[in-house]
Amino acid sequence: MSSHGTFATAINCMDGRTQLCVNAWAKKKFGVDFVDTITEPGPDGILAEMVSPLADSIKARVRISVEKHGSENIILVAHHDCAGNPVEKGIHLAHLQKAAENVAKWGFSVPIHCLWVNEHWEVEEIA
């Protein structure tokens, strides 16, 4: 565990509109000091389909966050108006579910949380 604060890991879209609301949600939800943010355009689609080498790169960065920073939560994010994965909300939610299943197979043994960022840039946790 890091001696420089507590961490969560967000696998988020590169879209800057999602960054602040997701980080604020994670800090409040988990009481962490920092959020390691791993960004790609449309990461829910990438991880649902396990698109290589992007999925491998995301995994390597999650490993650093969990093993070196002591992150105890992984957050998967999808959002309204995503240019990187331009599909309707229902497909995003299905991608989040499949992405969570795939990320769980990486074996990091930390909880995985799925978030939807709506058209008002508000965070909704998906069960």
Domain membership of residue 2 (yes or no) is no
**pLDDT tens by residue, the chain, 127 residues:** 445 899 999 999 999 999 999 999 999 999 999 999 999 999 999 999 998 899 999 999 999 999 999 999 999 999 999 999 999 999 999 999 999 999 999 999 999 999 999 999 999 999 8
38 forms beta bridges with 11
Domain membership of residue 73 (yes or no) is yes
CATH code for the domain in which residue 117 is found: 3.40.1050.10
Domain membership of residue 1 (yes or no) is no
Domain count, the chain: 1
Write out the residue range of the structural domain in which residue 72 sits: 7-126
The Cα–Cα gap between 118 and 109 comes to 29
Question: Quick one: pLDDT at residue 99?
Answer: 98
Question: Quick one: pLDDT at residue 3?
Answer: 57
Contact criterion met (CB below 8 Å) for 113 and 73: yes
Record the tokens describing residue 60, joined without a space: 């390597």
Domain membership of residue 120 (yes or no) is yes
pTM: 0.95
Question: Quick one: pLDDT at residue 70?
Answer: 97
Question: Quick one: pLDDT at residue 4?
Answer: 83
Question: Quick one: pLDDT at residue 127?
Answer: 85
Domain membership of residue 97 (yes or no) is yes
Query: Side by side, which strands form the sheet with 34-40?
Result: 34-40, 7-13, 74-79, 112-117, 123-126
